Amino acid sequence: MAERAPPLIVGAGPAGIRAAMTLVAAGLRPIVIDEGYACGGQIYRQPLSPDGRDAQARYGSEAAKATRLQRDFAALGAQVDYRPNTLLWNLRDASADSLRDGVSQRILHDGLILATGATDRVLPLPGWTLPGVFTLGGAQIALKAQGCAIGKRVVFAGSGPLLYLVAWQYMKAGVEVAAVLDAAPLSAKLHLLRALPLAPDIVLRGLRMAAELALHGTQVQLGVSGLRIEGEGRVARIVYQTGGRRHAIACDGIGYGLNLRSETQAADLAGCAFRFDPRDRAHLPVRDSSGRSSVAGVYLAGDGARIAGADAAELAGERAALALLEDRGLPHAPARAASLERRLVRIGRLRDALEAAFPFPAHWGADIADDTLLCRCEDISAGDARRAIGHFSLTDVNRLKAVTRIGMGRCQGRMCGAAAAELLAAQTGRDIGAVGRLRAQAPIKPIPLAMSLSVDERQHDPAH
Amino acid sequence: MPLLHRLVRTDSAVIFFTIDGVPCEGRAGDTVLTAVLCHTDRLRHSEFSGEPRAGFCQMGACQDCWVQLASGERLRACTTPLAEGMHIVTTRGRSHG
């Protein structure tokens, strides 16, 4: 048998790590590329150097999971070709272009598992570019990985389970948390009753966090709208509305996010078919229950395929790896695969209930003021977008991108894409699923112009 | 006025660097973003509006935290470890505002 190229796993978070372990157990030596300097992904992100805190202090209730995952991956040692600090910027046929330390390297692979994770989903707010405003995930990373607080008196705003978790972690770290401003109304929280029997520990922990915050003097406010961040050159206060009344809270740091959004650019470059997902209000790559995408040899796992959380990501990573093994004609543990799928279905039901308890504030898209920056990269306002939509009778986000450059900047639409679609849908009276999706283009992350090709690549590239 | 406040690693090894020519001290284990924002409240200025920016996602997605070195090299502050002798410039882009 001719020697086959190794499988490639993109991402070393919960999904990527479990996928790698499964492939190694079957005798393969996968390549794992990851932008992080250490494994764990964003959820179990490690510090750059030891900082005197143990796993319990860093990860709280998730300490055992974080420790196990990081230890398991480290134990693989040289059985994986692990490449940290490595950025994926292009995918074509059976090769991937990666970048490390300014050197681009083409990786030939046979089988591709995309475990690209998620980032915070955001909608623009007035003042959201002011220094001191971070995403919820960013605020958490500052605390968890860098041991820094984003302010001395902070406010967390938006929606999603992370809203309360990050606020609680800041409180526990001794930081004054002035308020938690939740976009979801009390009525939405009734969905937690549906989640309770599925995962009582998770739901009760969340409720306990909210209660502890309130007991600590944090103002916990549901059903907020009209968020506006103000300050001269940096955050000074946050303004919001409840029940038609305006309120302002002085603060010097703000964490903001509206749940999470999947990182799908790599799946797009790999040629995967996409479908609109009403729950996540996003176009997501199509996959079956095993994680197989529409493209042979390309598998999808974890939050990068659809938001389901870290526990589901571990299961889905292992499941996708078993599918790869099966397609390669190797032993693939069908009973184990079936068990993983059953557990994923159960977690999926829990996630549906959580998403309902923290619904996306759909009307915010229509409410964005014209002078609010929509695109942080190139300072394009919501008004600029609305004028272009009207002037050119636009109905598709890619046309909007071509005309206004929204989604064309350095973030490639990661921060503004959801907002651009919501705004376009609102203005044209279309369903959010009917305005198209921003198509990914290489490079999917900025690469230096002075990038050099590795010796390895020059040898392999037929163009040289 | 710093934007970030250090809660741990206060006695880690010192790493010397400069912000706009002013000598500063970071700590071993700092990213460039952490080191700069523990001293001041901006990383750069928008090349379009001239308004200050100080990062957003801290996970390498939003690209808001690009900083420039005196050499002209640009790097993503949230994912780059601080290194001894870095000369960081936050003032460029301001004059275009």
CATH number at residue B80: 3.10.20.740
Predicted confidence at residue B80, as pLDDT, reads: 95
Q: Which two tokens stand for residue A195?
A: 């989640």
Domain range enclosing B62: 14-96
Give A458 or A255, the one with higher predicted confidence: A255
Residue B8 lies in a domain: no
Average pLDDT, chain A: 94
Q: Which residues of A touch B64 (CB under 8 A)?
A: 129, 376-377, 411, 415
> Does position A207 have pLDDT exceeding 90, yes or no?
yes
Shortest CA distance from A446: residue in chain B: B63
Predicted confidence at residue B94, as pLDDT, reads: 52
Among the partner residues B31, B61, B76, nearest to A146 by beta-carbon distance: B31
Q: What is the mean pLDDT of residues A151-168?
A: 97
The boundaries of every CATH 3.50.50.60 domain in chain A are: 8-119+261-354, 122-258
Element holding A138 (H helix, E strand): helix A136-144
CA distance A243 to A224: 8
Decide if A265 contacts A272 (C-beta within 8 A): no
> Does position A462 have pLDDT exceeding 50, yes or no?
no
A1 pLDDT band (50/70/90 cuts)?
low
Residue B3 lies in a domain: no
Report the SS3 class of residue B24: strand
Residue B79 lies in a domain: yes
Residue A148 burial (CB < 10 Å; 0-12/13-18/19+)? buried
Query: Tokens 């770290």 identify what position?
Result: A173
**Contact yes or no for A119 and B55 at CB 8 A:** no
CA distance A96 to A124: 33
Q: What pTM did the predictor assign?
A: 0.95
**Contact yes or no for B62 and A411 at CB 8 A:** yes
Predicted confidence at residue A166, as pLDDT, reads: 97
Residue B89: CB atoms within 10 Å: 17
Q: What is the mean pLDDT of residues A338-357?
A: 96
Strands, E assignment, chain B: 5-6, 14-19, 22-27, 44-45, 52-53, 66-69, 74-76, 87-89
CA distance A377 to B63: 8
> Does position B95 have pLDDT exceeding 50, yes or no?
no
Shortest CA distance from A379: residue in chain B: B48
Q: Which residues of A touch B39 (CB under 8 A)?
A: none
Predicted confidence at residue A455, as pLDDT, reads: 52
> Does position A416 have pLDDT exceeding 70, yes or no?
yes
Q: Which residues of A touch B58 (CB under 8 A)?
A: 134-135, 137-139, 141-142
Beta bridge partners of A338: none
Residue B57 lies in a domain: yes
Spell out the residues 6+ positions from residue A32 whose beta carbon is closer than 8 angstroms to its own.
Answer: A8, A9, A11, A12, A16, A20, A80, A81, A82, A83
Residue B7 lies in a domain: no
* Shortest CA gap A54–chain B (Å): 12
**Contact yes or no for A149 and B29 at CB 8 A:** no
How many domains, in total, are found in chain B?
Answer: 1
What is the 3 state secondary structure string of A153-214?
Answer: EEEEEEECHHHHHHHHHHHHCCCEEEEEEECCCHHHHHHHHHHCCCCHHHHHHHHHHHHHHH
Decide if A218 contacts A114 (C-beta within 8 A): no
DSSP codes, B52-72: EE--SSSSSSS-TTEEEETTS
**Contact yes or no for B41 and A233 at CB 8 A:** yes
Shortest CA distance from A54: residue in chain B: B8
Decide if A238 contacts A261 (C-beta within 8 A): no
CA distance A28 to A331: 12
pLDDT of A235-253, one tens digit each?
Answer: 999 999 998 899 999 999 9
Spell out the residues 6+ positions from residue A53 whose beta carbon is closer than 8 angstroms to its own.
Answer: A47, A147, B8
For an interface test with B, the pick among A101, A148, A411, A445 (most B C-beta atoms closer than 10 Å) comes out as A148
CA distance A323 to A314: 15
Predicted confidence at residue A447, as pLDDT, reads: 85
**Contact yes or no for B29 and A173 at CB 8 A:** no
Least confident residue range of A98-102, A348-352, A446-450, B1-5: A446-450
* Protein fold of A122-258: FAD/NAD(P)-binding domain (3.50.50)
CATH, domain A8-119+261-354, list 3.50.50.60, 3.40.50.2000, 2.30.110.10, 2.40.30.10: 3.50.50.60
| Closest by CA position to A273, among listed A288, A253, A254, A257 | A288
The boundaries of every CATH 1.10.10.1100 domain in chain A are: 364-434
Among the partner residues B5, B41, B59, nearest to A148 by beta-carbon distance: B5
CA distance B34 to A48: 12
Angle at A198 between CA A179 and CA A311, to 5 degrees: 75
DSSP codes, A292-327: B-SSTTEEE-GGGTS---HHHHHHHHHHHHHHHHHH
Q: What is the mean pLDDT of residues A197-219?
A: 95
**Contact yes or no for A146 and B30 at CB 8 A:** yes
**Contact yes or no for A35 and B60 at CB 8 A:** yes
For an interface test with A, the pick among B6, B9, B34 (most A C-beta atoms closer than 10 Å) comes out as B9
Helix axes of A136-144 and A161-172: crossing angle, nearest 10 degrees: 30
Residue B9 lies in a domain: no
**Contact yes or no for B5 and A151 at CB 8 A:** yes
* Shortest CA gap B65–chain A (Å): 10
Beta bridge partners of A156: A180, A255
> Does position A319 have pLDDT exceeding 60, yes or no?
yes
A3 pLDDT band (50/70/90 cuts)?
confident
**What CATH number has the domain spanning A364-434?**
1.10.10.1100
Decide if B36 contacts B46 (C-beta within 8 A): no
* Shortest CA gap A140–chain B (Å): 9
Distance of CA A200 to the CA centre of its chain: 25
Predicted confidence at residue A234, as pLDDT, reads: 98
Residue B6 lies in a domain: no
Residue B4 lies in a domain: no
Decide if A358 contacts A159 (C-beta within 8 A): yes
Distance of CA A76 to the CA centre of its chain: 26
Predicted confidence at residue A264, as pLDDT, reads: 97
Q: What is the mean pLDDT of residues A16-27?
A: 98
| Closest by CA position to A8, among listed A31, A26, A41 | A31
CA distance A291 to A323: 7
Decide if A95 contacts A109 (C-beta within 8 A): yes
Task: Assess: ipTM above 0.85.
Answer: yes
β-strand pairing of A298-300 with A112-114: parallel
For an interface test with A, the pick among B6, B7, B79 (most A C-beta atoms closer than 10 Å) comes out as B7
* Shortest CA gap B84–chain A (Å): 15
Beta bridge partners of A381: A373
* Shortest CA gap B86–chain A (Å): 16
Predicted confidence at residue A213, as pLDDT, reads: 98
Predicted confidence at residue A454, as pLDDT, reads: 66
* Shortest CA gap A269–chain B (Å): 17
Rounded to 5 degrees, what are φ and ψ at A244? 80, 0
Q: What is the mean pLDDT of residues A217-242?
A: 97
